[in-house]
Structure 1
Amino acid sequence: MVYTARLFRLSATYGSTTLGLRLLHSTRPVGSAALGQIQASQLQKTLTTKPKPLVPKEDLIFGHVFTDHMLTFEWTAKAGWGRPQIKPYGPLQIDPCCAVLHYALECFEGLKAYRDAQGKVRLFRPEKNMERMNNSAERLHLPQFEGSQVLECIKELLRTDERWVPEGRGYSLYLRPTLISTENTLGVHRSNSAMLFVIASPCGPYFPTGFKAVSLYCDETNVRAWPGGVGNKKLGSNYAPSIGPQVMAESKGYQQVLWTIGDDHELMEVGTMNLFVFWRTEDGNTELVTPPLDGTILPGVTRDSILELTRSWGEFKVSERKINMKQLARASDEGRLLEVFGAGTACVVTPVNRIHFQGKDYQVPLDPANSESQAGPLAARIYNTLFAIQYGELPSKWSVVV
């Protein structure tokens, strides 16, 4: 067996100054399974010479401001994953015939970093995002990776740009890992080159003045996903076709699309969020129900957290099962509908106050004990509990200190 010795230098360059110079020596068999895998220990860091001024946190708009640096990983079918790099944030250089531009060979993730009251930076269940991203990559035949190694590199990006993690409850740094094909030939086929990169954007509270309930338009014409499709993967190609129906819903006076499928109008998702319905069933039981992961539903990290959390309470039935719009409408007419809300990384939970279906608006109760609240008591309780975990106020294995 042939072995090769390699020297890796982990360095950080700020202008003409090199920081933290270290030599690492390793040997590995040529052609072994270890060759071409992401190694956080090989991370190279080049710091910007022109740090950006911080934007006042009160002026932050989601996805408009980005930190000083980005994290990149290059991959080729021949060599595997190259050395991770933290470098100044800037444009990517790709060929005009790059496959991501023509065939949407791309997947992404969304997670947040939070600063707790002691100043520590925390992540919320980040291993779930790595797992889901690998599942998305597999569907596109893009390269998979060792999630724990990528997370270590993401943590170093957070340490590098720590000043961009805003202070204050409700503020966070949004992280967007993205994997694209960089294949520079036309033709629909498996990619021979790819890039994984991570960018970060500071953002403020989703509801800066408290909960804002949204109205939904049940789209009976368009579908978000279908059996055998890719609704359970976080692909950019899932989002572009939703823009038209969203614009249509807004033109009718509604804020989000309620996605359904089939003649029975089975509920799927709300906008870009997972959907939850809290009601009293016809047999008198109180139940929290969300559509099952049947291949058409995105396995949201917040969705999974809500299911695990509410089941641990043991106060009502928690179900993952099919539910249709006609059942929901009947429950509303009969006074059995208690709450409807969406769930996702950006908002944690988003209350719903009305749903339009087949020419009629169905009102969704909010908090009967608080006329000023736009969230039902269950949505508010879930939000406050997860919020407390994310900011380290409530001890939990879900909160990872960077």
Structure 2
Amino acid sequence: MASESTVSPQGTSGPRCGRWWQPPRQTPRPRSGRGCWLSRWAAWASPLRWAPQLCSWPPKPPSAQIWARKLLPVAWLLCGPRRCASSNFKAADLQMQMTQEPKKKPSSSEPLVFGKMFTDHMLMVEWNGAKGWGQPRIQPFQNLMLHPACSGLHYSLQLFEGLKAYRGRDQQIRLFRPWLNMDRMLRSAQRLCLPTFDKAELLECIRRLVEVEKDWVPNGAGTSLYVRPVFIGNEPSLGVGCVTQALLFVILCPVGSYFPGDSMAPVSLLADPTFIRAWMGGVGDYKLGGNYGPTVLVQREAQKKGCEQVLWLYGPDQQLTEVGTMNIFIYWTYEDGVLELVTPPLDGIILPGVVRQSLLDLAQSWGEFRVAERKITMKELLHALEEQRVREIFGSGTACQVCPVHRILYEGKNIHIPTMEHGPELILRFQKELRGIQYGTSPHEWILSV
């Protein structure tokens, strides 16, 4: 947190966050029971609710600050001057333009390849510095009209999110923890100096879009409707700086199971310290398009060497950070003899994944083994493998949920990981718990019903 301090409205000394102490916008009373989540979440995410945890001095214990760290941007972004004037669009103003030429929907027997087929409609909201946000609209899916000098194309002023909607046996459509995606998306926007937006209003617009496209949500084990919000700078001129035009849009695509036939196939990893995904002071903990393009070359190198994914290492001690585009977990007996699930901490180079947080929350609720967020080095892992203390290694992400690892190629040597020899017991348990929540067989507060 910033070292500069001042007196907050409560009279306590803390970081200079005066801009954060403006009264929150009052959310309109929902017109029906279906929308009641909006007012509850708007009150829960209110700046006045969380700002004291971020700005009080002396700091509260880590347990009291954990959600403030996840919900809010880093302190210097919060406390700095507003970079761009902004307003808020409202879901109540959502305009609807239905397509006159609906596409043929895939049959239940047709394979669903990720990101290849899109639904009939998309959500679009435009912003400019003079007028602020325009009215949100649901319109037929179509190509974008972009100026050749568009800042999102030239300077990577772009970000995106990824979440899923699931159809349960009761035919109810459910979004999984979408609030966390909205929190992360706003934080990414502030990092790029893109205009801010009301998270609750955007989420309601997305819910309405999924509702319009509910017939596109596939009905099958492991299938879902992938939701891809995108936010780009749309400045029609060259030069790096704050934009005066921006475009936010959301597209949807039906996707199949990450593992065909529910086989839970393990992956192999290339661990090469020559390549670095993110570094301290960078933007590795934001979901920006610019973080993904540079990984394509390394992914290709991994494939040339017979590996499916990359194990990203960082620093002279070769810390394990991520697996491909997933967070990494190790289930092992630690050096002190305690059974433990460990993942790297959110220290600025790790993306705060929604599934990552969900696995931590589930494991902590079970209370059967220690759950830790701690740096893990390659030396530690190799030592644990030699002593046969490692049970399972896996990645987590929206696409796969949990993905087992069975081999690591490191310094020219193939290192066997005994994940599949242990069931994989924990991975299968996580998968069962997540699916129960996502498909509605285990009612949970993480779900937003469409």
For 1:369 and 1:245, locate their aligned partners in 2 and report how far apart those are by CA, in whole Å. Answer: 30
Q: CA deviation at 1:369?
A: 6.2
Alignment correspondent of 1:321: 374
Report the AA paired with residue 37 of structure 1: N
Partner secondary structure for residue 279 of structure 2: coil
Alignment correspondent of 1:378: 426
For 1:122 and 1:392, locate their aligned partners in 2 and report how far apart those are by CA, in whole Å. Answer: 8
For 1:306 and 1:385, locate their aligned partners in 2 and report how far apart those are by CA, in whole Å. Answer: 9
For 1:368 and 1:101, locate their aligned partners in 2 and report how far apart those are by CA, in whole Å. Answer: 46
Q: CA RMSD in A?
A: 1.2
Are 1:85 and 2:124 an aligned pair? no
* Residues 319-366 of structure 1, C-alpha deviations (whole Å, 9 max, x = no match): 001010111011111111110000000110000001111222221113
For 2:392 and 2:410, locate their aligned partners in 1 and report how far apart those are by CA, in whole Å. Answer: 17
Indicate the structure with greater strand content: 1
Summarize the alignment of residues 323-402 of structure 1 with structure 2, pairs less than 5 Å apart. 323-368=376-421, 376-402=424-450
Q: CA deviation at 1:368?
A: 3.6
Q: CA deviation at 1:35?
A: 8.3
Are 1:222 and 2:275 an aligned pair? yes
Are 1:59 and 2:107 an aligned pair? no
Contact 1:219/1:245 (CA < 8 Å) preserved in 2?
Answer: no
Contact 2:391/2:422 (CA < 8 Å) preserved in 1?
Answer: no
* Residues 181-232 of structure 1, C-alpha deviations (whole Å, 9 max, x = no match): 1100100000111010000000111112220100001021010000000000
Contact 1:66/1:199 (CA < 8 Å) preserved in 2?
Answer: yes
Partner secondary structure for residue 294 of structure 2: helix
| Alignment equivalent of 2:125, drawn from 52, 73, 78 | 73
For 1:245 and 1:224, locate their aligned partners in 2 and report how far apart those are by CA, in whole Å. Answer: 10
| Alignment equivalent of 1:206, drawn from 242, 258, 261 | 258
Summarize the alignment of residues 204-353 of structure 1 with structure 2, pairs less than 5 Å apart. 204-209=256-261, 210-353=263-406
Tell me the matched-pair count. Answer: 364
Contact 1:67/1:200 (CA < 8 Å) preserved in 2?
Answer: yes
* Residues 228-252 of structure 1, C-alpha deviations (whole Å, 9 max, x = no match): 0000000000000000111001000
Alignment correspondent of 1:157: 209
Contact 2:265/2:404 (CA < 8 Å) preserved in 1?
Answer: yes
For 1:369 and 1:104, locate their aligned partners in 2 and report how far apart those are by CA, in whole Å. Answer: 43
For 2:88 and 2:227, locate their aligned partners in 1 and report how far apart those are by CA, in whole Å. Answer: 22
For 1:333 and 1:64, locate their aligned partners in 2 and report how far apart those are by CA, in whole Å. Answer: 43
Contact 2:231/2:246 (CA < 8 Å) preserved in 1?
Answer: yes
Contact 1:179/1:197 (CA < 8 Å) preserved in 2?
Answer: yes
Contact 1:389/1:396 (CA < 8 Å) preserved in 2?
Answer: yes
Are 1:41 and 2:89 an aligned pair? no
Alignment correspondent of 1:116: 168
For 1:346 and 1:195, locate their aligned partners in 2 and report how far apart those are by CA, in whole Å. Answer: 25
Contact 2:309/2:323 (CA < 8 Å) preserved in 1?
Answer: yes
Are 1:196 and 2:248 an aligned pair? yes
For 1:369 and 1:63, locate their aligned partners in 2 and report how far apart those are by CA, in whole Å. Answer: 33
| Alignment equivalent of 1:103, drawn from 155, 169, 173 | 155
Runs of 5+ consecutive residues of structure 1 not aligned to the other structure: 1-33, 371-375
Q: CA deviation at 1:314?
A: 0.6
Partner secondary structure for residue 231 of structure 1: coil
Report the AA paired with residue 432 of structure 2: N
Runs of 5+ consecutive residues of structure 2 not aligned to the other structure: 1-84
% of aligned pairs identical? 51
Q: CA deviation at 1:144?
A: 1.4
For 1:146 and 1:166, locate their aligned partners in 2 and report how far apart those are by CA, in whole Å. Answer: 30
Indicate the structure with greater helix content: 2
Alignment correspondent of 1:13: none
For 1:59 and 1:297, locate their aligned partners in 2 and report how far apart those are by CA, in whole Å. Answer: 33
Contact 2:309/2:324 (CA < 8 Å) preserved in 1?
Answer: yes
Provide TM-score, normalisation by structure 2.
Answer: 0.80
For 2:421 and 2:249, locate their aligned partners in 1 and report how far apart those are by CA, in whole Å. Answer: 46
For 2:190 and 2:86, locate their aligned partners in 1 and report how far apart those are by CA, in whole Å. Answer: 20
Partner secondary structure for residue 153 of structure 1: helix
Q: CA deviation at 1:118?
A: 0.7
Contact 1:117/1:391 (CA < 8 Å) preserved in 2?
Answer: yes
Are 1:135 and 2:135 an aligned pair? no
Contact 1:111/1:129 (CA < 8 Å) preserved in 2?
Answer: yes
For 2:214 and 2:448, locate their aligned partners in 1 and report how far apart those are by CA, in whole Å. Answer: 15
Partner secondary structure for residue 240 of structure 1: coil
* Residues 278-319 of structure 1, C-alpha deviations (whole Å, 9 max, x = no match): 111122111111000001000000000110110111111110
Partner secondary structure for residue 51 of structure 1: coil
For 2:314 and 2:127, locate their aligned partners in 1 and report how far apart those are by CA, in whole Å. Answer: 38
For 1:388 and 1:248, locate their aligned partners in 2 and report how far apart those are by CA, in whole Å. Answer: 37
Q: CA deviation at 1:59?
A: 1.9
For 1:357 and 1:315, locate their aligned partners in 2 and report how far apart those are by CA, in whole Å. Answer: 32
Contact 2:86/2:196 (CA < 8 Å) preserved in 1?
Answer: no
Contact 2:183/2:199 (CA < 8 Å) preserved in 1?
Answer: yes
Are 1:176 and 2:228 an aligned pair? yes
For 1:194 and 1:369, locate their aligned partners in 2 and report how far apart those are by CA, in whole Å. Answer: 49
Q: CA deviation at 1:367?
A: 4.2
